[in-house]
Amino acid sequence: MSPYARLKSAVAGLAQPTRFLELAERVLPFLLALTALCLVGGLYLSFSSDVDYQQGSTVRIMYVHVPTAWIAMLCYTVMTANAIGSIVWRHPLADVAARAAAPLGATFTFVSLVTGAIWGKPMWGTWWVWDARLTSMFVLFIMYLGIVAINRAIDEPTRAARVTAVLIIVGFVNIPIIKFSVDWWNTLHQPASVLRFDGPALDIEFLRPLMVMGLAFVTLFFTLYLASIRNEIWRRKIIAQHRLAARFVVHKEN
């Protein structure tokens, strides 16, 4: 069997809820330990690093604000991949994965907006401005809330999955807008200083804790994500068992 065929077979195997649950139970403890290690190391580097000559200690807000913004966009990208898998390939776990990601994405986006406002008040003299970067991030937060609301409002799982998958794919246009808004328009938000074609513009003193915190938030996201998918699978199994039991009782009474 070729490497591609083995990879395809492994991915297909993970589509089975039972196989996925087994994998999650093995992987989650390691992810949790790695998350804790990265968070401790990241927080230590964040508070032991020098302060910025302009921002002072306020620069440390960046070590939470920037990683949560990254995860907010990463989460929606993952949701989009799941939505495509749900519509095109009818992947059994794609809808479950997309549904589990939406509340996490909303949470990370909210933290990014709040920490950005806390940083903006001393730096810009205001909590909020309607510039391109902040507005597009706020739109992302509203989109996450809308997806969560639709999933809860539509009782029929297949219809809810189809509607949310289409909305997720259409809404993905906002992700490149968030990323390149500071380059396309004149905004108060500073331009990208880490993910740049010509390399990071940050000094290593600030880049080191930022990257460690970024890794910590990535591992935190995937830890919560796998746990949320696992919980959603269990929830659906319990609902299916309750419905089966109710049908059995009705059939027995008739």
pTM for this structure? 0.84
Q: How far apart are CA 231 and CA 147, in angstroms?
A: 18
pLDDT number for residue 161:
82
Taking alpha carbons only, the member of 90, 67, 70, 89 closest to residue 78 is: 70
Please give the helix or strand (H or E) that residue 252 lies within, else none: helix 204-253
* Residues 149-177: b if buried by 16+ CB within 10 A, e if exposed: eebeeeeeeeebbbbbbeebbebbebbeb
Low-confidence ranges of the chain (pLDDT < 50): 4, 7-8, 10
Domain extents for the chain? 34-192+201-253
Q: How far apart are CA 166 and CA 1, in angstroms?
A: 36
Contact at 8 Å (CB) between 78 and 101? yes
Q: How far apart are CA 230 and CA 24, in angstroms?
A: 7
pLDDT number for residue 76:
96
pLDDT number for residue 181:
81
pLDDT number for residue 74:
95
pLDDT number for residue 124:
81
pLDDT number for residue 85:
87
The alpha carbon dihedral of 240, 97, 16, 35 has a sign of negative
Kindly report the number of other CB atoms within 10 A of residue 130's CB atom: 9
Give, in order, the Cα–Cα distances in Å from 92 to each of 3, 66, 75, 163, 233.
23, 34, 19, 16, 11
pLDDT number for residue 197:
53
pLDDT number for residue 4:
47
